[in-house]
């Protein structure tokens, strides 16, 4: 039962154009969402996040949009650069309350982005 779904395993865009990566979730208790970027032979690295009280968060070329009613979030990269080629993971927090107050992240299966020069 995957609570965080990335239905597109891969995406190819031209350099300079917009990349849009999508993520859907099923658990209505999730209240914090993150995107991670992963290069080959490296661990995932944090990219950008958004709280459920917002519907948009922007950081340079990266913007995350959250549609709570649709349980959908997306990551926009504008303009896309060849160095953005990587696997992008969507992650969500919430749904399991830990005694210590922290919740472990639930990740999607990832989308491989390739930006063509």
Partner 1 sequence: DAGVIQSPRHEVTEMGQEVTLRCKPISGHDYLFWYRQTMMRGLELLIYFNNNVPIDDSGMPEDRFSAKMPNASFSTLKIQPSEPRDSAVYFCASSLKGRRYGYTFGSGTRLTVV
Question: From residue 53 to residue 92, what is the string marking binding to partner 1 with x (rule CB under 8 A)?
Answer: ------------------------------------x-x-
CA distances 20 to 17, 42, 95, 101, Å, are 10, 23, 26, 33
Contact indicator for 117, 15 with CB cutoff of 8 Å: yes
Using CB under 8 A as the binding rule, whether residue 102 contacts partner 1 is answered as yes
How far, in Å, CA of 110 to CA of 21, rounded? 10
| Interface stretch with partner 1, choices 19-27, 38-46, 61-69, 78-86 (CB under 8 A) | 38-46
CA atoms within 13 A on the CB side of 82: 2
- Nearer Cβ to partner 1, position 52 or 74? 52
Contact indicator for 62, 50 with CB cutoff of 8 Å: no
Using CB under 8 A as the binding rule, whether residue 104 contacts partner 1 is answered as yes
Using CB under 8 A as the binding rule, whether residue 94 contacts partner 1 is answered as no
Q: What is the number of residues in the chain?
A: 117
Using CB under 8 A as the binding rule, whether residue 106 contacts partner 1 is answered as yes
Using CB under 8 A as the binding rule, whether residue 22 contacts partner 1 is answered as no
Other Cβ atoms closer than 10 A to 4: 22
Binding site for partner 1 (CB under 8 A): 2, 6, 32, 34, 36, 41-46, 49, 89, 91, 93, 96, 98-102, 104-110
């Amino acid at each position: 039962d995957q609570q965080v779904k990335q239905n597109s395993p891969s995406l190819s865009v031209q350099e300079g154009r917009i990349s849009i990566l999508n993520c859907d979730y099923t658990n209505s208790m999730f209240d914090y969402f993150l995107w991670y970027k992963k290069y080959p032979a490296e661990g995932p690295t944090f990219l950008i996040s958004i709280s459920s009280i917002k519907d948009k968060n922007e950081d340079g070329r990266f913007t995350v949009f959250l549609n709570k009613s649709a349980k959908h979030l997306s990551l926009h990269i504008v303009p896309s650069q060849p160095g953005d080629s990587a696997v992008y993971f969507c992650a969500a927090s919430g749904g399991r309350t830990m005694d210590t107050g922290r919740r472990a992240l639930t990740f999607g299966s990832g989308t491989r982005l390739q930006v063509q020069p």
